[in-house]
Amino acid sequence: MESSIIRTEYSELMQKSYIDYAMSVIISRALPDVRDGLKPVQRRTLYDMYELGIRYDKPYRKSARIVGDTMGKYHPHGDSSIYEALVVMAQDFKKGLPLVDGHGNFGSIEGDGAAAMRYTEARLQKITQEAYLADLDKDVVDFIPNFDETEKEPLVLPVRVPNLLVNGAEGIAVGMATSIPPHNLGETIDAVIAYMKNPDITTEELMRYLPGPDFPTGGIIANQEELLSIYETGAGKIRIRGRVEVEKSRGGKERLVITEIPYTMIGANIGKFLNDVYSLVEGKKTGDIVDITNQSSKEGIRIVLELKKGANIEELENLLYKKTKLEDTFGVNMLAVADGKPETMGLLGIIRHHVKFQFEIAARKYRTLLAKEQEKKEIQEGLIAACDVIDLIIEILRGSRNIKDARACLTEGRTENIRFKSKESEKMASRLHFTERQAGAILEMRLYRLIGLEIEALMKEHEETLGKIARYEDILNNRASMAKVIIKELQAWKKEYAVPRKTVIDNLKEAVVVEKAIEEKDVVFLMDRFGYVRTVDPSVYERNKETADAENRYVFTCKNTDRICIFTNRGQMHLLKVQDLPYGKFRDKGTPADNVSNYDSREERFLYVCSMEALASARLLFATKFSMLKLVNGSEFIVAKKTTAATKLADGDELLLVTPLTGAETIVMRSKKDVFLRIACEPIPEKKKAAAGVRGMKLDPGDELQEVYFLSEGADMTAEVKGKEVALNRLHIGNRDTKGVKK
């Protein structure tokens, strides 16, 4: 076989391959189908459970059995994705209508994970079996080969309720994501019925039946006026709040009790909410909260905030809404696969696709049922006709040598191979023209069917069959009749499975928090050698001045409204607010700088700390390991960001010195090879903070600065070199960018 080389542009090949990959992820993994509202992994898992016979009225089966079978037959993408999908479908706090009945530990609303699949069991919910998987044997949906073409799987499940809206969806594909909130089953069915009765209905009119999302966690939707725009465009943000109740406590005190949480708070965000409340108290944003406890259980959410007497409830609620996850936004992007491609749809578009699918299912179902009834009618008519000439048929059977001759006589009137008692019988037999199906039924008929009551029952059954045929033909030929059938089914689902709405929809004012003006005053900032920071009153410092100066690396006076700047060897400047620091007694330990800023003591060390107010009028000298020097005006660092690049560093370089200049200071650069160079600071050029600087000392290959000493005018300073002391202030002042002196 001759080989052929196909030449192509690499960029074109990569583009095509990436597009193919992206579409595969979008269509086959991450996005739900608008018809059944299910992702492929969910659809395959439910179908596999149906095939395994794990019905709602049968015993539970191990989740590992379900996952393994699904992975082996339909979804070869790893067991974790299948089990996660199974778990989510069983969690009533995530799904408006759970599709799986889980037995065992399937996780909790507070973020606890489900037990391993070998420990949990599951089976289908009743509604899943009746409204999601029914009629698969009636050719209502197409089946396609599985990944290795050894099995068949449904292209889509014949879901009879608008599952995409009822259970919502979340998924991240390539370059796109879907986020559809869950809705109330009864309200969604009402909206579908309203559309079926009036296809020209508007989104605003639909919202009379389906006013908005209904989250399993309850809560309050606070921006009702924006829902119409969200449902028309399929995108927007829903503002949701938890439900807060006020309870009386002992001693005239009150407590706030959170009984419902925003849907977005499910999982780890409950713990984050508790930490945020602690932070509000520690940061002195509120003094009304005395204690907080999480008393949630299987019965529901109950987070209790104990308040001090006379607490301002309204102000505190606004603070919680503004500063914690008690009020959050749910980003809506109603993206789903429609007609084989991803499409963002509004409420009307989703319902339109659902109704179209329902008519397709109903048409295929009733065509299958009609064909079966017509087949039954044919057989019944043959049996009824056979009862009228039963003696002749018995004579044909007794005179036949084999079943082939008897069948030929019944269907074609061929009598040449059959012995008859009389010519009259033979003549009558030659007029028979039963169909193949009728002949088969006659040949298989048992003698008890000739009893009078059995014949009457056959006639009655035939009448029922004719009635069904007439009904099925009416449904198939009359869209209004088919719509009535679909509506009747929807109403039955609503009657049996609908539950009251949990989420309240309202227009609430946005929470406003008025920051209390801080009375500006002087405080003394203290930072010890371990990086613990705190502030004390100036009078406290004066009484303990000697101890404070001895125990702390940085001590200076600043305003309580100021910010502290921390310069690190990584070339970063971190900001922390003075008001975020502990303020109190002299012997208080303080808090690590890591806790109140982006400073990371594991990867950085601080070189210089000062207040921003002091920095405004300063000139800072920077010196790095690679001997780069520069002066920077302090006003460059008057920024609002918590972390700012203070200088530009080459790969592998780091800062050795950051210090302010006041007069005729000098610096001494010392390399690892003990080469010293002393230069004056004033001639060093002033640069922007984003600049790298200029070279301070010419270094030999492989050498770098070990330390940079800053010498104030008249100061004595020594350095030890090979056991000898070198007086740094006696070194000759040389020129920048020259070689130093070897010691």
pLDDT in tens, 51-60: 999 999 999 9
* Within a domain: 516: no
Residues 488 and 529 in one domain: no
CATH of the domain at 711: 2.120.10.90
The pLDDT of residue 448 is 66
Residues 622 and 695 in one domain: yes
The pLDDT of residue 345 is 94
Q: Tens digits of per-residue pLDDT, 17-76?
A: 777 676 666 666 788 999 999 999 999 999 999 999 999 999 999 999 999 999 999 999
The pLDDT of residue 404 is 87
pLDDT bracket for residue 129 (50, 70, 90): very high
* Within a domain: 475: yes
* Within a domain: 311: yes
Residues 565 and 421 in one domain: no
In this model, does residue 241 exceed pLDDT 80? Answer: yes
Q: Tens digits of per-residue pLDDT, 622-634?
A: 999 999 999 999 9
In this model, does residue 1 exceed pLDDT 60? Answer: no
Residues 430 and 384 in one domain: yes
Cα distances (Å, whole numbers) of residue 152 to 44, 106, 133, 145, 148 = 11, 30, 15, 5, 10
CATH of the domain at 132: 3.90.199.10
Cα distances (Å, whole numbers) of residue 387 to 376, 381, 415, 483, 578 = 17, 10, 20, 41, 104
* Within a domain: 668: yes
The pLDDT of residue 492 is 94
How many whole angstroms separate alpha carbon 525 and alpha carbon 534? 6
Residues 655 and 721 in one domain: yes
Residues 291 and 387 in one domain: no
Q: Kindly report which listed range (7-11, 140-144, 170-174, 526-530) carries the lowest average pLDDT score.
A: 7-11
Residues 533 and 478 in one domain: no
Give the start-end residues of each E strand in 228-367. Answer: 235-241, 243-248, 254-260, 289-294, 303-307, 327-333, 335-338, 341-344
Residues 142 and 61 in one domain: yes
Q: Which among 440-444, 564-568, 598-602 has the top mean pLDDT?
A: 564-568
Q: Tens digits of per-residue pLDDT, 369-421?
A: 999 999 989 888 888 888 888 888 888 888 888 888 888 888 888 888 888 88
The pLDDT of residue 455 is 76
Question: Residue 128 in contact with residue 102, Cβ under 8 Å?
Answer: no
* Within a domain: 603: yes
Residues 368 and 309 in one domain: no
Residues 702 and 590 in one domain: yes
Specify whether 119 is catalytic: yes
139, 158, 177 - which closes a domain = 158
CATH of the domain at 293: 3.30.1360.40
Name which residue leads in pLDDT, 427 or 245.
245
Using the structure block, give the residue that is written with the tokens 């030449």: 7
Backbone angles phi and psi of 738, in degrees to 5: -125, 170
pLDDT bracket for residue 2 (50, 70, 90): low
Q: Tens digits of per-residue pLDDT, 262-311?
A: 999 998 888 888 888 888 887 777 888 888 999 988 888 999 999 988 88
* Within a domain: 293: yes
Residues 725 and 591 in one domain: yes
Question: Residue 687 in contact with residue 645, Cβ under 8 Å?
Answer: no
Indicate yes or no: pTM above 0.85: no
* Within a domain: 685: yes
* Within a domain: 13: no
Count of domains observed in the chain = 4
495, 513, 535 - which closes a domain = 495
Residues 321 and 403 in one domain: no
Domain residues for the domain of 683 are: 522-742
Average pLDDT over residues 499-505: 94
The pLDDT of residue 451 is 67
The pLDDT of residue 102 is 95
Question: Residue 575 in contact with residue 593, Cβ under 8 Å?
Answer: no
The pLDDT of residue 55 is 93
In this model, does residue 7 exceed pLDDT 90? Answer: no
Q: Which of 465, 243, 454 is nearest to 371 (CA)?
A: 465
Q: Which of 18, 21, 56, 119 is catalytic?
A: 119
103, 133, 158 - which closes a domain = 158
Q: Tens digits of per-residue pLDDT, 680-697?
A: 998 899 999 999 999 999
Q: Which among 428-432, 436-440, 657-661 has the top mean pLDDT?
A: 657-661
Q: What is the mean pLDDT of the chain?
A: 89
How many whole angstroms separate alpha carbon 443 and alpha carbon 446? 9
Q: Tens digits of per-residue pLDDT, 527-582?
A: 998 889 999 999 999 999 999 999 999 999 999 889 999 999 999 999 998 988 88
Sequence-distant (≥ 6) Cβ neighbours of residue 349 within 8 angstroms: 234, 338, 343
In the chain, % of residues over pLDDT 70: 96
